[in-house]
Amino acid sequence: MIQMLILTLALSTEPLLSSTDQLGRGATAVYTLTVLEGTDYWIVLDCPPPPADFDVTVASRDMDFDEFMSLPYYEDYIYARGFSMVEGDSDGSESLTLTAPYTGPAFIVIHDIGETGGSYDLKVF
């Protein structure tokens, strides 16, 4: 019952971050979000079938963004996972909850793990 109430509240409010985009085969995308310590964030990555399969990780501020950007496809995602506060690696769409352990930047990293490319819709509540 409480989960349904939280879902209803989240869906009735504007997302903090919303993006509809595409990834090429094997590509990685990154978004920066400022988080507040102790705040819960709901991250929803919707991948319309078929056959898109994207994984997502939320990397902490400890990740060196310049180093991340200098790495080739897939190595960038593996690097970001080393700083992960929460990640989703299900087939298809992802839904994660992050309780921010600090106030400051966090990096939402999306990778085409299925190596097919495709579109996605990212929302953070």
pLDDT tens-place string over residues 36-63: 999 999 999 998 877 788 999 999 999 9
First to last CA, the chain: 19
Q: Does residue 4 form part of some domain?
A: no
* pLDDT value for 47: 86
Is pLDDT of 98 > 70? yes
Total domains in the chain come to 1
The domain that contains 67 carries what CATH number?
2.60.120.380
Give the residue numbers spanning the domain of 103. Answer: 15-124
Residues above pLDDT 90, as percent of the chain: 70
Q: 35 and 58 in contact (C-beta within 8 Å)?
A: no
* pLDDT value for 77: 95
Q: Does residue 88 form part of some domain?
A: yes
Q: Does residue 59 form part of some domain?
A: yes
Residues in a beta bridge with 73: none
Is pLDDT of 5 > 80? no
Instruction: Name the pTM for this structure.
Output: 0.86
Of 2, 109, 100, nearest to 45 by C-alpha is 109
* H/E element, 70: helix 65-70
Radius of gyration of the chain (CA): 14
